[in-house]
Copies of this chain bind each other. A is one copy, B any other.
Amino acid sequence: MNKPESLVPRYSHKDYKSAVKPIWCPGCGHFGVESSLFRALAYLELPPERVAVVSGIGCSSRIPAYTQCYGFHGVHGRAPAVATGLKLARPELTVIVTSGDGDAFSIGGNHFIHACRRNVDMTLLVMDNEVYGMTKGQPSPTTPADWDSKIAPGGTGVNPFAPLAVALASGANFIARGFSGDPNGVAHLLVEAIQHPGFSFVQVLSPCITYRPEERFWKKTVHPSSVEPTRDPAVAGHRLLSDDGFTTGIFYLGNRPCYTATVDTSNHDLSAIEEDLAL
């Protein structure tokens, strides 16, 4: 993020913020993520009207309406599919999916892995608080097995899974992890993710201070990666499958070709096609 300070930036992060007031609890980690997103967009000087923020349902998924970009607040778990359709139809837009651990990894798991595999040029930003915030505190796929909750008294007994490893195995082209308590770091990751061609996945650990108050202490748990991002999936796989889940940084930079399409509405001449039906 080194940029000549002398230039007057075209956009400030405020240009990306709408008048709608977040419904989030005071202290929610998602505030930090939101501001990181705005900083990244401002840094990249992306005109707000050229950016589309697509989401599902959840506290995290509320972000689109808080932006001055085009927004799509769809149904629970399906945002990567919406974003795929949008980006294929309008390749000139910058498409960002904002999601939560429940939205992206539980109900949305299939679209998550297939978006990784398909490698359309977009960025998936998952605010992972290891809980369903919006529905008031149920375990998500990243919740520790022994976390006690009303719906799973004594814990689910199910191992949380490693979203970065799943993303890698599924074919994601850029894989990184940040922490909402470090908004600059997250902004940096987002700048890289948005610029990297293909499907970029950024997991941001973002505490739910209401239903997982113990996550306040994540600030002591996270630690930056000590090694450089790799371009070798096997090496990345080895690292991610032995990682503790709290390492921040960029893990993998792929160079698979993007899935693209041209969608052009100008041609209305169907005569050649109709010929196929001639008797």
Contacts and interface: CB of A to CB of B under 8 A. Distances in A.
Interface string A223-267: 000000000011111111110000000000000110100000000
Interface string A161-176: 1100110111100000
A36 interface: no
Contact of A165 (B109, B237, B256): B237
A171 B119 CA distance: 23
A150 B167 CA distance: 29
A interface majority secondary structure: helix
Contact of A241 (B118, B234, B242, B259): B234
B158 A169 contact: no
A14 to B, nearest CB: 38
Interface in A40-67: none
A168 B162 CA distance: 10
A110 B239 CA distance: 24
Contact of A117 (B110, B161, B239): B161
A159 interface: yes
A205 B117 CA distance: 20
Interface of A: 106-110, 113-114, 117-119, 141, 157-159, 161-162, 165-166, 168-171, 233-242, 256-257, 259
24 contacts: A107-B110, A109-B110, A109-B113, A110-B110, A117-B141, A117-B159, A119-B158, A119-B159, A157-B257, A159-B171, A165-B168, A165-B169, A166-B166, A168-B169, A169-B240, A233-B241, A233-B242, A234-B238, A234-B241, A236-B241, A237-B237, A237-B238, A237-B240, A238-B238
